[in-house]
Structure 1
Amino acid sequence: MPSDLAFDDPASDVMLDAATGVRRSILPGGVRLLTQTDPSVRSATIGLWLPVGSRDELPQHAGSTHVLEHLMFKGTHRRSAMDIATAFDEVGGDSNAITAKEHTLYFGRVRSADVPRAVDVLTDMITASRLEEEALATEREVILEELAMAEDDPTDIGYETFLADVLGPDTAIGRPVGGTAESVNALSIEDVRAHWAEHYRPGNLVVTAVGDIDHDELAELVQAGLRRGGWRLEPGALPARRLRTDAAGGESGGGVVANVAGIDPHRLLRPAEQNHIYLGGQGIPAVSEERHAMSVLMSILGGGMSSRLFQNIREQRGLAYSVYSFSSGYRDAGLFGLYAACRPGRTTEVVELLGAELARMGEQGVDEDELARARGQITGSFALGLEDTSSRMGRLGTIELVHGTYSSVDETLEKIGRVDAAAVRDLAARLSTSFSTRVEVGPES
């Protein structure tokens, strides 16, 4: 049965899944450690998670989380930027980091023999980075190039515009993760240091690791590394609970739009041969009980070559090369969308077909063959995706930071298998009346 992940027990040490070796402990300082021991491999992936993302920034500091992530690789009091870069390269490992709307992740994958090195480098980075003005000046230019690269991609600019409109352009969760060129240029090193001081602390830290590792040995390595970096790990301290102050969106079904083709599009002119279309609205949060039904719905609607959108718009009518559906969930908000790229003269017809296919699913439902294919696609992709240690490490982090309840792989697959045609039809009917946003990126018609 699923297990709640306790916050209020400083002595918590639980074997969450004896069959697959998943264990969770709360270490001194409130650091949470989740591991899955897998002796069948000779490697391990270690992730250090902070529950702080772009939605936690003040408007005037937009982009600071992403900037801080970059600066973590620019040198500590013990290591130069080159030392950090070579620490993984010289043992054949790899490391990287991800800034998202609701978390930041630093991770490394190495041979099991090199786990102590990986833990030492990663903990050194998050506790003792120098955060110098000179490094900010250099890395600012790199980030501005990254933002400029996204501006050159019509799919990137269209997706970000779509997200902002659905989630709320005036909310933190609606802003781009990387900020804007203006906000990044305005950031001072004091802003970045203040962001680090507020969020990078033991009670916020979650460590997840999967592979040929020992939980107790890793706990000692993590604590030693954090203490070397100057963090005080008080015995009996509890993890920090995450608060939400700028909730956006919510359950779907708020505003009814009968004619999706009639939604005024955000028209973004770019030199291109195709018009890139995003159409959708509010969906469901990541913690919603309907998330498995949403996965099945998205698979049937636009999740592969056998999906309705692909078959109808591409295979039968030849109106687009790329067409699919997607959804994203956050702790208190969500969205769904339909995408297609076509020549400008076909836009009106494609928009009508996108909306009509979802509406038809909500009115007529889905058949058992579609349902079986979707279940097979999702469960197969899910199981195959967990064949490597990196994917399983990421799953443990998501369980801890987002869901707060542990479910085994088998339990998750069982929930997907229980999704029936009625659940998909009901959700499709609600989504089909929730279209609110249309974005088009392409040349002048």
Structure 2
Amino acid sequence: MSERVAESGGEPAPPPSSAVGWWAVLVFLLLYIVSFLDRQIISLLVQPIRDHFLISDFQVSLIQGFSFAVFYALFGLPVGWLVDRFSRRHVIFFGLLIWATAASVSGLAQRYWQLALSRVGVGAGEAALAPAAYSILSDLFPKSKLTLPMSVMGAGTKLGSALATLIGGFLIATLPREGMELPLIGHYAQWQVALLLTGIPGLLIAPLVFTIRDPRALRAVPDQPAVVHGQGSALHILRANARFYAGHFVGFGFVSLCGYALLAWMPTFFIRRFDYSLSEAAYTAGSITLVTSLFGSVLMGWLVDTWYARGRRDAHLLFFAANMLVEAVLICIAMSTADVRVAILCIGLQQILIPFTGVSAASLQIFTPPPVRGRISSIYLLVFNLLGIGLGPSMVAIFTDFVFADDKAINKSIMATFIIFSIAAALCLLFAARPMREGVRGAPDMPTN
């Protein structure tokens, strides 16, 4: 069995009620929706941004993914340290203020580098949400029931992405094409006004964070560092369980890469492949994601929780190893067909299968001891986001600009990305399955707060 940290700390608080746990899930779901609204609005504005700054698909992809992901990942490391030591609610609150402000400021950009810098701010702020949310939910739910609430919270990623395209489509359809004259700051293009508006919801809902119960704050004695053979650091845990963490981090990172690749370019796919207008592409992509997101997230979480509760301790990893191969087939059909109805059907089915954030987060929290969850979750998010949002949008653009050298080959680029990285994801997850199976065998099924 892999060496893991003994769980220690202060006197535990009484087990939280189901209502307390699910209220936290609903608040985190709302925060995730807002975070992905701010994050994904760029995917709808590819052409206006290209035209405004006279840049390529690849340069747009750097704004969509790389500039955001690098600083999301880098700021995630100190955030993980803060999550393990200070108020998790305060960490989320201040992160939310930063990302919402940066999201609105991005609409003021007059140069390409200014837009990229503002997206860095969005990434830096959003780095606070996931590690703290994972840590709090793992204290509120038993292990055999953790994947479903994690998945419901993770549905916010899809709902936020859907709302980004739907709201963005609405704004593009209603805002004046020539832009607007804004009081005190001057004239701004249509796409800039849309970005200015996206940060406002986050600022309005920030105080909801303090309605969440944090079980760690109720302990009679503060947590003390756990020790195994004289060593209890996050680095020691990573080294002692290198096979699990490497396979998990990289495997779900490749799953994320595929998800972001499609998410970032879905509206553009419908525009270039089927001659949709910007508004038509927005409503089509947004509707697909909106209809499938919550159902898919709940279904994936319930299926994995059920399998895990029946004794399959590596259920999270085996499930998505098989899942990714099915998704690759669906995307190949969607990208190859000349019938838009078949494309929409296959993308819709793939979107039902793709919600993985709850499954990946739950498996990580189940395996990782509480005293180092924040730091290890941040390292996971570093890898996950560098591969996912950092590389996913750019990988499609690399195929389009440098391999096929044809904007109309967007379908081939998405297909190539899925074929390569779906197989790679499945292999990595299978590699991590055995240590997870051995590492959690016989672990108590209770919240580890």
Q: Whose helix proportion is higher, 1 or 2?
A: 2
Q: TM-score, normalised by structure 2?
A: 0.29
Structure number with higher relative contact order (C-alpha < 8 Å, ≥ 6 residues apart): 2
